[in-house]
Amino acid sequence: MSEIIRRDPRREWIARNRLHPDNATVLAEMSGGAVSEWLGPNGVVRKNPRAIGFIGPHGVRRIDRSGLQQGGQSPGAAAAARDSRRTVTIDAPAFLVAVVPDMTGGRLSSQDKDLLGLARRVADADADQPGAVVAILFGEHKEDALGEAGVDRVVHLEDERYSGFAPEARLAVLSAVEREMAPRFWLLPDSPLGGADLGRRLSLRLGERAATGVWQVEADHDAPLGWQCTARGGAGSLDIQRPLPRVALALAECAEPVDETRHAAEHLTLSASIPTNLSRIEDLGQVAVDPAGVALDEAEFILSGGNGVKEWDAFHHAAKVLGATEGASRVAVDDGYMARDRQVGATGTWVTARVYVAVGISGAIQHLQGIQRCDKVVAINLDPGCDIIKRADLAVIGDSTQILAALVAMVEQQRGGQRDAA
Amino acid sequence: MQPEQQGIDVAVLVSIGRHPTTGRPRRAEQDARGLELALAMEAELPGTRISMLHAGPQDDGSEAALRGYLGMGLESMTLLEQPEGSDAIPALATHLATAAPQLVITGARAERGEGSGLLPYALAERLGWPLVNGLAAVESVENGVVTLLQALPRGQRRRLKVRLPAIISVDEAAPAARQSAFGPARRATFSMAATHPEADSELAQWHLAPARKRPKRLKIVKSASARDRFKAAASKSEGKGGQVLTDVSPEEGAEAIYKLLKEEDVLR
């Protein structure tokens, strides 16, 4: 290309003339996407103040000065905003902080993330000599954001014998990690049947008096390991301040989760083989529990019916086949289709289900409050504009009776197939 | 051939509880559930012998609390007497090693003092016995193997087989304790056992204070632009907006739901 700037007087004239029918297109061409700015003939940036902003809902021009509305740039800018985490790699860590997350349902729980945040705080306290966070994971998992959660190294054991209730096998692994890597701290979540059990076993195996129910950690140079912690004791009635021991079991919200950095999450394998000793505890697997007997606030999977359910027998049958606990909206309870103790919402029960299927429920605000803590919400409804559709992770618009019938048929068919195969 | 049902020796470890509002000594909630479990076993399995153990000082307050357990249907209990501030673990471990019960039942954690819930684990480690926590029910005892139901979160249960001798710890999932009867509680007797008290020196060094309310977590929005921070503070959260299936046949809709349920692993 030549260095000479070629001018097109006609186009410039159109660009100046706001009333010209081609004004907008010419401006767009001259500015390379952003209509309000373009490079003038002498290399000066020209601005069209009238092209800035957009017309708001009341017909008033609104100007957004955050730079997000600049036509051509926006996708790139959004991508950059999403990818603003700093990448950190710690090649030669001064020490290790071992974390054993619960991985409920194969993903990091919010308590696990808080715990990793705490581990990061402990590891990064001295910027010159950063420690590395090692996560020890048992069984299969679906988590792909370990690095984002602050994990530098991962020891992942996928063997069958660590699944279910296998405290002795898991403890053998943790002991092997202790021998091989000698982490300075062991952090576990103080959650029943997860870290609470394993962590106490580990602390006694290591001969440490673990701090349990830790909810605050502060740097303290007088303490042997440089940290002071505050722990809940005496059934939640006491705060115990003590030096942080090597093994600590932390409560939820003990620290802020990591959100500024991305770590390597590099996989490690243990060099020593783990001894398989005969376990004195045999896991016979989960027992089928009658879902109707499970309290609504702790049920894992709820099928909830509302005003849109017309055939209640089919609804009850579907709940039975799916193995779901039944819930109901206030309307269904008021109309006498369900018992009062099955009501979900502000006036009923605040549920914590992992999967909540709302059938024919439009989603009154009281109901949506009651399902705030549910992970996945599935809505089956006739009205695509109702509030529960906005909350739902999956919404199916259609007749609930037919969809439930199809779902039941599908589940029964799959179960039948499995039984034939076995 | 019907195997002859033989009772086993059960030791129940009890502690002095603390009423959450008044702070008065009482029978501890979880330990009482443990004793209830043992009494239920005695009814199921004739010949089961229950011995109740407590390590701690003997004074009026603790005696009243301990009689709360005795009123549940026991005639006597063993008190390992030691001064306030002593470590209960060595005394209990020594006593259990000599008395050699086949099953030890404890509450998950104490209601006063450190309340760390480490005691059952410490006993298991010292005695070398297997330990199961979060127990919901004892199903059967056969040939030195006990079948248990362990409580999982969300009302689920898991069946475990454990070789005796074993330690089991009980929390809120176990059946609720029966009422304590006043007359039998008055008539029951204590048998004292001598111990070599060891002071808990570590606990004495820590600073214990009444629990203060934990600060509520603030929603911190870290963003470069003031507009984003303002929007996060002022606007109502929109929700992520999930997948919406319109104009699908019931089968396609059911298929999508089935896939999600499978992914979340809630179908059994």
Q: Among residues of chain B, what percentage have pLDDT more than 90?
A: 48
Q: Could you report the per-residue pLDDT of A379-402, keeping only the tens digit for each?
A: 999 988 888 998 898 999 999 999
pLDDT band at A54 (very low <50, low <70, confident <90, very high): confident
Any residues with CB less than 8 A from the CB of B208 and at least 6 apart, and which?
A233, A238, A239, A240, A241
Element (H, E) at B92: helix B88-99
pLDDT band at A74 (very low <50, low <70, confident <90, very high): very low
Q: Could you report the per-residue pLDDT of B141-200, keeping only the tens digit for each?
A: 888 899 999 988 777 888 999 998 999 999 888 888 999 999 999 999 999 988 888 888
Element (H, E) at A381: strand A376-381
Min CA distance, A8 vs chain B (Å)?
39
Residue A281 contacts B, CB cutoff 8 Å: yes
Residue A387 contacts B, CB cutoff 8 Å: no
- In the stretch 204-233 of chain B, residues with CB closer than 8 A to chain A read 205-212, 214, 217, 220, 222, 224-228
What amino acid occupies position A301?
F
B211:A235 CB<8 A: no
Whether the per-residue pLDDT at A157 is higher than 70: the answer is yes
pLDDT band at A33 (very low <50, low <70, confident <90, very high): low
Question: Whole-number mean pLDDT of chain A?
Answer: 85
In whole angstroms, what is the distance from residue A210 CA to residue A212 CA? 6
B242:A324 CB<8 A: no
In whole angstroms, what is the distance from residue B90 CA to residue B110 CA? 17
Query: Which residues does chain A have within 8 Å of residue B142's beta carbon, measured at their own beta carbons?
Result: none
* Of residues A238 and B237, more confidently modeled: A238
B257:A241 CB<8 A: no
Domains and CATH numbers, chain B: 9-205 (3.40.50.620)
In whole angstroms, what is the distance from residue A384 CA to residue B246 CA? 8
Start and end residues for every CATH 3.40.50.1220 domain found in chain A = 295-421
Q: Among residues of chain A, what percentage have pLDDT more than 70?
A: 92
A168:B209 CB<8 A: no
Whether the per-residue pLDDT at A222 is higher than 70: the answer is yes
Residue A71 contacts B, CB cutoff 8 Å: no
Residue in A165, A299, A399 nearest the CB of B250: A399
Q: DSSP code of B71?
A: T
Whether the per-residue pLDDT at A126 is higher than 50: the answer is yes
In whole angstroms, what is the distance from residue B160 CA to residue B154 CA? 18
Element (H, E) at A315: helix A312-322
Return the residue of B nearest to A301 by Cα. Answer: B266
Min CA distance, A242 vs chain B (Å)?
5
Residue in A209, A298, A323 nearest the CB of B154: A298
For residue A419, the model assigns a pLDDT of: 53
Report yes or no: A390 and B238 within 8 Å, Cβ to Cβ: yes
Report yes or no: A109 and A145 within 8 Å, Cβ to Cβ: no
Give the number of beta-carbon pairs within 8 Å between A and B: 247
B257:A378 CB<8 A: yes
Residue A164 contacts B, CB cutoff 8 Å: yes
Q: Could you report the per-residue pLDDT of A179-207, keeping only the tens digit for each?
A: 998 999 999 999 876 889 999 999 999 99
What amino acid occupies position A374?
C
B124:A204 CB<8 A: yes
Centroid of chain to Cα B49: 22
Query: Which residues does chain A have within 8 Å of residue B134's beta carbon, measured at their own beta carbons?
Result: 192-193, 197
In whole angstroms, what is the distance from residue B175 CA to residue A202 CA? 29
For residue B184, the model assigns a pLDDT of: 93
Sign (positive or negative) of CA dihedral A285, A291, A296, A302: positive
Report yes or no: A350 and A370 within 8 Å, Cβ to Cβ: yes
CATH (one of 3.40.50.620, 3.20.20.100, 3.40.710.10, 3.40.50.300) for A93-268: 3.40.50.620
How many other CB atoms are found less than 10 A from the CB of residue A227? 20
pLDDT band at B103 (very low <50, low <70, confident <90, very high): very high
Query: Which residues does chain A have within 8 Å of residue B236's beta carbon, measured at their own beta carbons?
Result: none
Return the residue of B nearest to A248 by Cα. Answer: B116
B110:A235 CB<8 A: yes
Whether the per-residue pLDDT at A80 is higher than 50: the answer is no
Centroid of chain to Cα B140: 20
Residue A398 contacts B, CB cutoff 8 Å: yes
In whole angstroms, what is the distance from residue B2 CA to residue A403 CA? 52
Query: What average pLDDT does the segment A55-63 reach?
Result: 75
Start and end residues for every CATH 3.40.50.620 domain found in chain A = 93-268
Report yes or no: A227 and A217 within 8 Å, Cβ to Cβ: yes
Q: For every residue of A59-91, which 3-state class applies, written as one string?
A: CCEECCCCCCCCHHHHHHHHHHHHCCCEEECCC
Query: Which residues does chain B have within 8 Å of residue A105's beta carbon, measured at their own beta carbons?
Result: 264-265
Sign (positive or negative) of CA dihedral A238, A243, A249, A250: positive
Report yes or no: A226 and A125 within 8 Å, Cβ to Cβ: yes
pLDDT band at A103 (very low <50, low <70, confident <90, very high): confident
Whether the per-residue pLDDT at A417 is higher than 90: the answer is no
Element (H, E) at B251: helix B250-264
Provide the angle, in degrees to the nearest 10, between the axes of the packed helices A23-31 and A9-16.
110
Query: What average pLDDT does the segment B232-255 reach?
Result: 77
Contacts 24+ apart (CB under 8 A), A27-30: A27/A51
Sign (positive or negative) of CA dihedral A307, A311, A314, A320: positive
For residue B198, the model assigns a pLDDT of: 86
Contacts 24+ apart (CB under 8 A), A227-231: A227/A122, A231/B116
Residue A392 contacts B, CB cutoff 8 Å: yes
Min CA distance, B20 vs chain A (Å)?
8
For residue A76, the model assigns a pLDDT of: 40
Report yes or no: A307 and A339 within 8 Å, Cβ to Cβ: no
* DSSP secondary structure of B169-200: EE-TTSPPPPPPPHHHHHH-EEEEE-----B-
Min CA distance, B131 vs chain A (Å)?
8
B155:A294 CB<8 A: yes
Query: Which residues does chain B have within 8 Å of residue A73's beta carbon, measured at their own beta carbons?
Result: none
Does the structural domain A295-421 have CATH classification 3.40.50.300?
no
Whether the per-residue pLDDT at A50 is higher than 80: the answer is no
Tokens found for residue A78: 């959004």
The residue count for chain A = 422
A355:B261 CB<8 A: yes
First to last CA, chain B: 36
Query: What average pLDDT does the segment A92-102 reach?
Result: 91
Beta bridge partners of A343: A328
Return the residue of A nearest to B227 by Cα. Answer: A66
For residue B54, the model assigns a pLDDT of: 93
Q: Could you report the per-residue pLDDT of A329-375, keeping only the tens digit for each?
A: 999 999 999 999 899 998 888 888 889 999 999 989 999 988 888 88
Residue B258 contacts A, CB cutoff 8 Å: yes
Residue A347 contacts B, CB cutoff 8 Å: no
Whether the per-residue pLDDT at A276 is higher than 80: the answer is no
The residue ranges of DSSP E strands in A14-170, in sequence order, are: 37-39, 45-47, 54-55, 61-62, 86-88, 96-99, 132-138, 153-157
Residue A254 contacts B, CB cutoff 8 Å: no
Residue B256 contacts A, CB cutoff 8 Å: yes
What ipTM describes this predicted complex?
Answer: 0.86
Residue B254 contacts A, CB cutoff 8 Å: yes
Min CA distance, A397 vs chain B (Å)?
5
Min CA distance, B148 vs chain A (Å)?
10
* Of residues B249 and B218, more confidently modeled: B249
B267:A205 CB<8 A: no
The pairing of beta strand B145-151 with beta strand B131-142: antiparallel
Q: Which of A263, A294, A238, A236 is nearest to A120 (CA)?
A: A263
Query: Which residues does chain A have within 8 Å of residue B258's beta carbon, measured at their own beta carbons?
Result: 407, 410-411, 414
pLDDT band at B44 (very low <50, low <70, confident <90, very high): confident
Least confident of A87-96, A292-301, A305-314: A292-301
Whether the per-residue pLDDT at A71 is higher than 50: the answer is no
Q: Among residues of chain A, what percentage have pLDDT more than 90?
A: 36
For residue A78, the model assigns a pLDDT of: 41
Residue B236 contacts A, CB cutoff 8 Å: no
For residue A118, the model assigns a pLDDT of: 93
Tokens found for residue B163: 């070789």
A323:B266 CB<8 A: yes
Residue B160 contacts A, CB cutoff 8 Å: yes
Residue B107 contacts A, CB cutoff 8 Å: no
